Structure 1
Amino acid sequence: MENKVDVVSQIFKSHDNFSDVELKIAQFISENPRLVAISSISKLSKMIGVSTASVSRFAKVLGLENIRELKFHLAQSFNSVEMPVVDQRLATSGYNLIYESLSTILLNNVTTLSGSHITIFSNFIEEAETIYIFGSDAITRHCAEDAKFRLTLLGNVVLTADSPELMRAYSNNFRPNDLVISLDISQQPEQLIEVTAKAKQVGCRAAAITSQLSDLTNLSDMVLAINTQDINGKFKSNALRHLLLTYIDAIELELLSRQATI
């Protein structure tokens, strides 16, 4: 699997030769490449509505050894983002620096994102009666509201807060079947640590999307860690906001895929 294969391009080239079942698989892969890259073959077959054998045969039709190789090349395509050709005058401009900051943090984190962690995180959400999403600054507040909107559309009861006073007020209503999610881009989020500790005391599950150096990693039942190394300080906040939203995207995709199979 050393040679890079553009799976989507291969699908377009072979489109006219596909059977009805293959067309169904091809359409799903073309529309949901990221979801395909992180899903098991059994989950894919359920989402598409075909047998696992059909999914395996489709990979061979594209000239690949198996579905694992197909997923590998899809993931590889996300990990090899190339800088666009730009005018030399823009090479050191703000536009280019912003792009570099975004691409660096996304590649450093998304390429190591564990599918099993997304699965567990999603399990917590599905099993919770009430979901509390807490942020500690403007960036995480924005991301918390975005997550609330998406999860509410999926049928969850979600509350958000970014002030210590409101977090403490909510913590008085924690119940064992609730889930507390902390969004954090610092390493010492005192108010989030306090409310997470309270959640654990009453038997709530706690999850976090936070810096790998944060004390929240030791308190939470599930953590999607953020690596903030090699990030341009000037554009770090914007890049981290996009990273948090990318993680939320991955969780939403997992939850949507489950609902599609019901």
Structure 2
Amino acid sequence: MEEETSLDGGGRTRVSRRGSVVFRASGPWSHAVISLLQHLERSGFSEAPRVIGRGFDEQGRETLSFIEGEILHPGPWADDAFSRLGDMLRRLHDATSSFSVPKDAVWRPWFGRTVGRGPLVIGHCDTGPWNIISRAGLPIALIDWEVAGPVRQDVELVQACWLNAQLYDDDIAEKVGLGSATARARQVRMLLDGYGLSQKARSGFIDQLIEFAVLDAAAQAIESSVTAESTDHEPLWAITWRAKSAAWILRNRCILETVLV
């Protein structure tokens, strides 16, 4: 039998792999997530891990298929990736529209469930590039579904655009080699075009980007119990880059709005 090895990432839970099987520590939301992933497989949505067996091992851990590929984060996506990503999210939402949510479903708490104004969908809800498997530089699958659940359509798209176009301040842009504000605005447009979001539905999208970045910064502070006495650099930086991102979007608002339409 192959040795079980720990995997990097995994978000907030422990993840390991043995052969083609990924094991993830379960939580109260795991049964709902496993049901969702089983539905996606039945619906023909192939860009998610498959459930192995009944979805849990003898230790109660989730059992999912390992997806071969690369995580490009923190480097930027090429432009071609954005229409692919938008199309992937559209097909995901189409597939989950027929999902019968279990009556006893529990979803992981997340601030994004209580904001937004678009149609309610069942989404991935953690669509950063660190959760996207790529091959040949193009996105081919979403992993780490622990935050999946109900979300407004516009919130899922705002999160995906913000994190994948990396609408971050100049220090990060220089460090990881991001394009200009205009280039990143075009990437946002390509993702929304790939999704098929109407021009009408894009009204106020820049405001939502700013709002989401600010709320995410606040959520990081709450989750890490940051106070005036905090000295741990990791949570402080997590809050800082999000707040600076909101300021960057404000400063580049005219460029973003012009390109988006």
Q: Same fold (TM over 0.5)?
A: no
The structure in which a higher percent of residues are helix is 1
TM bucket (normalised to shorter chain) is under 0.3
Q: Given the two structures, how large is their TM-score scaled by the length of structure 1?
A: 0.26
Q: Given the two structures, how large is their TM-score scaled by the length of structure 2?
A: 0.26
Larger radius of gyration: 1
